[in-house]
Structure 1
Amino acid sequence: MKLMDGPYILAALCNGVMYGGGFKINPDSQVNDGLLELVYVQTMPMHKILAVLYKFFAGNHEDLEELDNVICDEVVYASKDGSPMILNCDEEVYQLSTFTCQVRKHAYKRII
C-alpha cells in the first residue's frame, strides 16, 4: 500500500500510546499486539496548528480531516530518489534512504 504523497506536518509510527513525551498518538494501542499505527497529518494553515497539537496531547485527534492513519504490521519508508531522509527514532536522529520497521506479536513481556 502506498500512502498519499506529502508534505506532512507530522508523520509518526507507533506501537504504544505515547510519542514524544506527551503526544497520545495511538490512544488505544497495545504494545504486544504486533501492530503498528502510522499516523500522518497533512500540512495546514498556521492558525490551526496549536489546536491540532492540543488534540494530540489529549488523544482526541481522530476527527481531524487532515489526519490519516494506517494499521499495519510492517512499514517501509523509502525516498523516491534514493537521497537520505531525516528520521527520529527514540530521540535519535538518523539520515537513511530506506527505513523498515516491524513489531513482533507478544514479543514484549512486562514483569511487575
Structure 2
Amino acid sequence: MSGTDAAIDAARLPGVHRVADIATERASRYLQQLAKHFQHKLPVTFDETTGSIAFDGGTCAMAADERALTLYVVAPDAAEADRLADVIERHLVRFAFRDEMDINWRAG
C-alpha cells in the first residue's frame, strides 16, 4: 500500500482526522520503531512502508517513502484526535532524538 492508498483508507474512516507529513530519509525506520513499540500493548500491523496502530480511542495509519513519514490519526472527536497525535509525536521525537523533526499536524 502506498502513502496515497493509506491516506485514502484513513480518509474513509468516520471521525476527526489529523495528518502530519514529516520529512525524513529514515521514514521506514521510524514507522517500524513506532509499530514495534506499540505492538506490545495494542493491535498493530506493519511492513516497511505502511502500518496501522489501533488505539482504544482511535487509529493511527502510517506510510513511509524515501522522503517522508506520513501519519494519519482518526478518532471520534477532536480532543481524542489531538491526544493521540500528541502520544504518537512524543514517541516519534524520542525515537528520532538524533534528527531534528518538524512535526506539524493539520486537520485531514
Same fold per superposition (TM over 0.5): no
Greater RCO, 1 or 2 (C-alpha within 8 Å, sep 6+): 2
Given the two structures, how large is their TM-score scaled by the length of structure 2? 0.28
Given the two structures, how large is their TM-score scaled by the length of structure 1? 0.28
Which has a greater percent of helix?
Answer: 2
